[in-house]
Amino acid sequence: MAITVTSNPDQVTVVTVEGQLIVANRQELKQAIQDALDGGARKFVVDFGPTAYIDSSGLGALVSINKKVREAGGELRLAGLNEDLRSLFELTKLDTLFAISATASEALAGF
Amino acid sequence: MSPLAADRLPDRPPGDAHYRLVLPTDLDLLAEAIELLLACCLEHGAIAPANCFRLRTVAAEAIANAMLYGNGNDPARTVTVELQVLSDRIVLSVADEGDGFDPAAVPELVSEEECHAAERGRGLFMMRHLAEQVIFNERGNAIWVTLTRA
């Protein structure tokens, strides 16, 4: 997995997850968001456009991250889920927990 | 580190490919192992994209569970993965060296509230919904998962 963190002029932190989000690397994503939170960021988009699959630990990490961001008064949006990943969120009822946009630009426009 | 390789075993029955992959307990090998299993399947013809996704997800769950909970993340213990590629389906088995567990005792996340709050407990649920069939041995340290190819 490769994680890319970028900030745009609207102060939204976009975290792009390439490859897979699984038990072996979920901590990297948690740490990237935590570092941004510690640096004062409060608006986040996690872009799953280049993500092949997410396991249950990855989903659990997103639940945990979402909780931390909300507790800090921030907001987390997800974007770019392909049809298979979207079905995983529906299966686990997490589609109703997260704000999910088709693309990262749509998610950015939502802030 | 040398790349992982799966041993091709004698076909049982002839024409149905059979592979075995013995992994040390190391979560860093997970992604490579999953891609290797998928490559073994694809050597024997196309698999519908949705089923490639299911195979990746189910294999990730089963192998991670075996390493983390079955083997207690002990690098001295191994996980044995067997893959049978049949004309119409794929059968994946994953066995660990642990004492096993009772899958019936794993609570299901049912309500939306539970699903939104839980940071763990989705793995078995996901496997049961993504695979055609999920079977455990009596001891609870080996799982057989069947997926369709078409």
B8 assigned to some structural domain: no
Size of interface A-B (CB pairs under 8 A): 81
Q: Would you give the distance in Å from CA B28 to the centre of its chain?
A: 16
pLDDT above 60 for B135? yes
pLDDT above 80 for A1? no
Total domains in the fold of chain B: 1
Domain span at residue A21 reads: 13-78
- The Cα B149–Cα B134 span in angstroms is 16
A62 assigned to some structural domain: yes
pLDDT above 80 for B38? yes
pLDDT at B12: 67
pLDDT at B118: 81
A2 touches chain B (CB under 8 A): no
Nearest chain A Cα distance for residue B136, angstroms: 19
Domain span at residue B33 reads: 16-148
Total domains in the fold of chain A: 1
Of the candidates B34, B64, B125, the beta carbon closest to that of A57 is on: B64
Rg over alpha carbons for chain A, rounded to the nearest Å, is 12
Give Cα separations from A96 to B77, B82, B99, B133 (angstroms): 39, 37, 37, 28
Q: Is the previous residue joined to B13 through a cis bond, with omega within 30 degrees of 0?
A: yes
Can you give the CATH number for the domain in which A26 is found? Answer: 3.30.750.24
- The Cα A38–Cα A58 span in angstroms is 22
What number is the ipTM of this complex? 0.83
Span B83-112, pLDDT tens digits: 999 988 999 999 999 999 999 888 888 888
pLDDT at B92: 97
Span A59-111, pLDDT tens digits: 999 999 999 999 999 999 999 999 999 999 999 999 999 999 999 999 999 88
Give the rounded percent of residues in chain B with a pLDDT score beyond 90. Answer: 65
Nearest CA in chain B to A88: B126
Q: Chain B partners of A23 at a C-beta cutoff of 8 Å?
A: 27, 30, 60, 64, 68
Span B110-130, pLDDT tens digits: 888 888 888 778 999 999 999
Mark yes or no for CB contact A24/B28 under 8 Å: yes
B70 assigned to some structural domain: yes
B115 assigned to some structural domain: yes
